[in-house]
């Protein structure tokens, strides 16, 4: 391992980890026009705080770390939604299902088959322009149309308060 001093190793452990993509996070700036939507801006402000946080299976708070659904549930619960703590598939079942063309920043993006579980197996917060932020290892930005994520891309959803 590279030890517990990520500042010595350009940001930490080798790329890869539990999201299976094997890719490091992308440096990404959300377009300014997306942040004019105050609802999305608040969600993004909370989501952004945890970029770089390590993946922890079952993790659901900043103190424990996050898995994919724990991260999404935390961010939305902090912004007045009442999604509780559920799985990626549980979040899918709470969403209005929408097409990629309808998806806007702040919607959720879902993947099936990233590991052996029924239904949706991974979720992230859609940022627009084919980008998401999700709890890989660590929490990072990713392109949903990359060679890895495209294989598993399964749908988009919109939560309501």
Quick one: which of 154, 156, 129 has its CA closest to 143? 129
Q: What is the pTM of this model?
A: 0.85
What's the confidence (pLDDT) of residue 17? 40
What's the confidence (pLDDT) of residue 14? 35
What's the confidence (pLDDT) of residue 23? 63
What's the confidence (pLDDT) of residue 18? 45
Domains of the chain: 28-158 (3.90.1720.10)
The DSSP code sequence of 56-120 is: -TT-EETTTEE-HHHHHHHHHHTTT----S--HHHHHHHSEEE-TTT--TT-EEEEE-SSS-SSE
What's the confidence (pLDDT) of residue 29? 83
Distance CA 74, CA 81 (A): 10
Distance CA 64, CA 29 (A): 27
Distance CA 12, CA 54 (A): 10
Q: What averages of pLDDT result for each successive group of 10 residues across the chain (161 residues)?
A: 42 42 72 89 96 93 95 98 97 98 97 93 96 93 94 97 90
């Amino acid at each position: 391992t590279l030890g517990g001093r990520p500042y010595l190793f350009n940001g930490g452990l080798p790329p890869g980890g539990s999201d299976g993509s094997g890719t490091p996070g992308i440096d990404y700036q959300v377009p300014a026009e997306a942040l004019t939507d105050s609802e999305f801006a608040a969600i993004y402000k909370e989501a952004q705080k945890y970029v770089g946080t390590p993946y922890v299976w079952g993790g659901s708070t900043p103190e424990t770390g996050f898995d994919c659904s724990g991260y999404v549930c935390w961010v939305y619960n902090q912004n007045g939604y009442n999604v509780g703590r559920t799985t990626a598939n549980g979040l899918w079942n709470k969403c209005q299902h929408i097409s990629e063309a309808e998806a806007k920043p702040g919607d959720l993006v879902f993947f099936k088959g990233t590991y052996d579980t029924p239904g949706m197996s991974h979720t992230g917060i859609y940022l627009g322009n084919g980008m998401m932020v999700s709890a890989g290892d660590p929490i990072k930005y990713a392109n949903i149309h990359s060679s890895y994520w495209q294989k598993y891309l399964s749908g988009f959803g919109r939560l309501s308060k």
